[in-house]
């Protein structure tokens, strides 16, 4: 019987590590520089609602639930259009987009978002996961109602209709003209099924290119070696790791077409669930989410 590939040996950094350059204040500190990235991460091992703004209608709830590694259970109210939402502090600003190269100093900062979640009603429910402007109404009548941000959105009414949306409103647009970019995730790249986890991630590189990942699992030991069947001779997975399912080469396209312009307002890591048009309570389980950006 084939076994899974053996773990690689841990690397020993006996003197620690640091991200600081030789002229940095923590260059000689083996503990690294914890402020090299601004970051927010919650594994929901102990949900601290004090770290979030919680919004709900019709007695929706969010609370810790049993699960390996800790989870947060979102439960909507039972009337159509009900939602449950959590947002941390609005602490992230997307890299400012230059109008044609060269990029500005503000644009050359990497930014990441990653979440793992599952929904109980893959066809009827709707969810938002990403970076959004602080709002008490992320949904209106079951449809998204976010006016600034970069986030994954699954609309109500179909299991496989996942998109990545970039929105800059009139107030938050660097050009003063509001607009929306919708990037459809290929349906071949993921499956949304009832009560089945999916990992969602996006990344903006230092050239303002935008990438997205979907699938399960994207984090942990298994994806580092691929998944599925294992070669009995080499012990290596026959399936490669999951790569990005969407890549928009924003920087390279400037001068040829209008570049993606990101909102300039402060955005909050956000997880929101709506029951759409269904007059019944529904649930979403979140395992973790995080946002990171270079200073």
pLDDT in tens, 102-111: 556 666 789 9
Q: Give the pLDDT score at 238.
A: 58
Q: Name the 3-class secondary structure at 198.
A: strand
Spatial contact of 124 and 278, defined as CB atoms under 8 Å apart: yes
> Per-domain residue ranges for the chain?
39-294
Q: What is the mean pLDDT of residues 52-57?
A: 90
Residue 292: is its pLDDT beyond 80?
yes
Q: What is the mean pLDDT of residues 212-220?
A: 86
Tell me: domain 39-294, CATH 2.60.120.200, correct? yes
Please, how many CA atoms are within 13 Å of residue 71, restricted to the half-sphere of its CB?
Answer: 17
Tell me the C-alpha distance between 150 and 172, whole Å. 12
Region of poorest pLDDT, from 136-145, 211-220, 267-276? 211-220
Q: Other CB atoms closer than 10 Å to residue 57's CB: what's the count?
A: 17
Q: What is the mean pLDDT of residues 76-105?
A: 83
First to last CA, the chain: 49
- Strands 37-42 and 143-144, by their bridges, are unpaired
Q: Which two tokens stand for residue 94?
A: 């997307």
Q: How confident is the model at residue 166 (pLDDT cuts 50, 70, 90)?
A: very high
As a whole number, the mean pLDDT across the chain is 86
Q: Which two tokens stand for residue 71?
A: 């989870």
DSSP structural state of residue 249: -
Q: Give the pLDDT score at 240.
A: 60
Q: Give the pLDDT score at 13.
A: 86
Q: What's this model's pTM, rounded to 2 decimal places?
A: 0.90
Residue 222: is its pLDDT beyond 70?
no
Q: How confident is the model at residue 101 (pLDDT cuts 50, 70, 90)?
A: low
Spell out a b/e string for 171-205, using b for 16 or more CB atoms within 10 Å of the CB, else e.
ebbeeeebeebebebeeebbebeeeeebbbbbbbb
Q: Which residue would you say has higher pLDDT here, 102 or 146?
A: 146
Q: Give the pLDDT score at 226.
A: 63
């Amino acid at each position: 019987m084939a076994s899974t590939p053996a773990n690689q040996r841990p690397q020993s950094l006996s003197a620690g590590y640091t991200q600081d350059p030789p002229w940095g204040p923590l260059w000689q500190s083996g503990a690294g520089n914890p402020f090299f990235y601004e970051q927010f991460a919650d594994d929901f091992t102990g949900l601290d609602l004090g770290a979030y703004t919680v919004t709900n209608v019709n007695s929706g709830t969010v609370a810790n639930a049993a699960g390996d590694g800790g989870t947060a259970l979102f439960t909507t109210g039972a009337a159509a259009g009900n939602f449950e939402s959590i947002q941390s502090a609005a602490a992230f600003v997307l890299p400012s987009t230059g109008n044609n190269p060269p990029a500005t100093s503000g644009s050359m900062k990497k930014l990441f978002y990653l979440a793992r979640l599952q929904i109980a009603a893959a066809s009827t429910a709707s969810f938002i996961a990403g970076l959004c402007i602080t709002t008490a109404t992320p949904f209106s009548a079951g449809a998204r109602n976010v006016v600034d941000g970069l986030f994954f959105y699954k609309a109500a009414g179909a299991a496989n209709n996942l998109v990545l949306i970039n929105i800059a409103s009139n107030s938050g647009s660097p050009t003063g003209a509001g607009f929306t970019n919708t990037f459809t995730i290929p349906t071949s790249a993921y499956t949304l099924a009832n009560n089945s986890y999916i990992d969602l991630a996006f990344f903006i590189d230092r050239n303002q290119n935008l990438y997205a990942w979907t699938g399960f699992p994207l984090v942990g030991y298994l994806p580092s070696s691929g998944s599925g069947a294992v070669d009995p001779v080499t012990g290596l997975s026959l399936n490669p790791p999951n790569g990005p399912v969407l890549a928009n080469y924003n920087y390279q396209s400037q001068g040829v077409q209008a570049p993606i312009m990101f909102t300039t307002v402060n955005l909050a890591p956000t997880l929101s669930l709506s029951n759409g048009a269904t007059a019944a309570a529904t649930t979403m389980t979140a395992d973790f989410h995080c946002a990171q950006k270079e200073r």
